[in-house]
């Protein structure tokens, strides 16, 4: 007797996956899947998942990330497959760039393998509103909560079971959705997000365990780092603008690594008075500053603030890397943020 098929039907939503995306993936035999540097669960999960889809169709795939996979994601099966550089023994015929609002977000791989990115066509799969469409084929869905939500629909269209890889596919995709929705607490959650998640849960994804590992289980070094940064929180405009700063010295003092700053901006955004919450991170020996922005529904568009400094993202969550030392970047960004926040009327 054959096994029953899935009861959660994604056909209606999966119909929106562009035919050209399906065609490119099915025609490719040697695929490089690459996500952005400083990766989080949506970037890693979507890159790994696309690799699994290619392999399910008989192709060869290499998931790549310029940075090491953070330890906090090691519980997800398949994270040890990531390389930091393309495999030199493979002549790739397709590059799939996932979860990148711009191509430069993949980091130093773009420069060190410039000829590869010039020669091989790029399939761009992303959910950032600010994506400039840098691929030969671009599938950008700004209404999607996560790139992993999109890739789940892609798997359905390609007739690849979500149970593929002894649950590896479903877990990778679920991890990205949990991360990018703040465990289903952000306003980017839609009815489609919930149906897609139901399909992943039916395929075996352990959402409760994934959420516990990502949101309710932290190394003591990370808790120490959070304490240092939250203790230096500042505010302006009667608390409608809040910010804090992560200095390189904080990492040294707490014993934390840079990846353990993940989640700090979401804590800042819990301020009951803030229209905008901003985290400034000192990077590159203080040659530049990474800015993470969260804003409240119906108020400041975070992409406008981030876009002023060459960044982008989503209306409620955006970021930018500012080529200024920490103090100068903070002064410039806060000046622009104050103007935007002051214009909000409720």
**For the structural domain made of 220-342, what CATH number should be given?**
3.10.310.30
- In the chain, which segments carry CATH 3.10.310.30? 220-342
Distance CA 142, CA 131 (A): 9
What is the pLDDT tens value at each position of the chain, 346 positions in all? 455 678 999 999 999 999 999 999 999 999 999 999 989 999 999 999 999 999 999 999 999 999 999 989 999 999 999 999 999 999 999 999 999 999 999 999 999 999 999 999 999 999 998 899 999 999 999 999 999 999 999 999 999 999 999 999 999 999 999 999 999 988 899 999 999 999 999 999 999 999 999 988 989 999 999 999 999 999 999 999 999 999 999 999 999 988 899 889 999 999 999 999 999 999 978 889 999 999 999 999 999 999 999 999 889 999 999 999 999 999 999 999 999 999 999 8
CA dist 246 and 262 (Å) reads: 11
Q: What is the pTM of this model?
A: 0.87
Listed in order, the ranges of the chain carrying CATH 3.90.1640.10 are 11-215
Please state, as a whole number, how many other Cβ atoms lie within 10 Å of the Cβ of residue 122: 18
pLDDT of residue 77: 97
Residue 91: how many other CB atoms lie within 10 Å: 10
Secondary structure of the chain: what % helix, strand, coil (to 5)? 45, 15, 40
The predicted pLDDT at position 173 comes to: 98
Give the SS3 label for residue 26.
helix
Question: Cα separation of 292 and 276, whole Å?
Answer: 10
In whole angstroms, what is the distance from residue 188 CA to residue 157 CA? 23
Within 8 A by CB and 6+ apart from 114, the residues are none
The structure tokens listed for 248 are 């390189």
Domain 11-215 part of CATH 3.30.565.10: no
């Amino acid at each position: 007797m054959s096994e029953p098929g899935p009861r959660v039907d994604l056909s209606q939503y999966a119909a929106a996956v562009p035919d050209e995306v399906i065609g490119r993936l099915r025609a490719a035999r040697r695929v490089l899947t690459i996500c952005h540097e400083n990766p989080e669960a949506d970037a890693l999960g979507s890159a790994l998942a696309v690799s699994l889809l290619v392999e399910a169709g008989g192709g060869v795939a290499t998931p790549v990330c310029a940075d090491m996979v953070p330890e906090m994601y090691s519980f997800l099966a398949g994270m040890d497959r990531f390389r930091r550089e393309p495999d030199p023994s493979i002549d790739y015929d397709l590059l799939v760039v996932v979860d990148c609002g711009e191509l430069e977000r993949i980091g130093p791989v773009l420069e060190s393998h410039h000829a590869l990115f010039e020669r091989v066509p790029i399939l761009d799969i992303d959910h950032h509103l600010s994506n400039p469409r840098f691929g030969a084929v671009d599938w950008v869905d700004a209404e999607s909560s996560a790139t992993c939500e999109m890739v789940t629909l892609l798997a359905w269209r390609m007739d690849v079971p979500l149970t593929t890889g002894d649950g590896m596919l479903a877990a990778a995709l679920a991890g990205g959705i949990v991360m990018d929705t703040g465990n289903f607490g952000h306003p980017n959650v839609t009815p489609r997000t919930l149906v897609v998640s139901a399909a992943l849960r039916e395929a075996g994804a352990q959402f409760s365990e994934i959420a516990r590992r990502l949101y309710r289980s932290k190394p003591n070094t990370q808790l120490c780092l959070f304490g240092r940064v939250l203790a230096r929180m500042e505010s302006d405009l009667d608390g409608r603008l809040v910010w804090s700063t992560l200095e390189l010295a904080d990492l040294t003092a707490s014993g934390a690594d840079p990846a353990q700053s993940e989640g700090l901006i979401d804590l800042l955004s819990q301020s009951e008075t803030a229209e905008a919450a901003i985290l400034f991170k000192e990077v590159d020996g203080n040659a530049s500053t990474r800015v993470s922005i969260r804003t409240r529904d119906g108020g400041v568009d975070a992409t406008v603030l981030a876009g002023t400094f060459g960044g982008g993202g989503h209306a409620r969550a955006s970021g930018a890397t500012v080529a200024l030392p920490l103090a100068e970047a903070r002064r410039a960004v806060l000046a622009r943020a104050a103007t935007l926040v002051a214009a909000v009327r409720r």
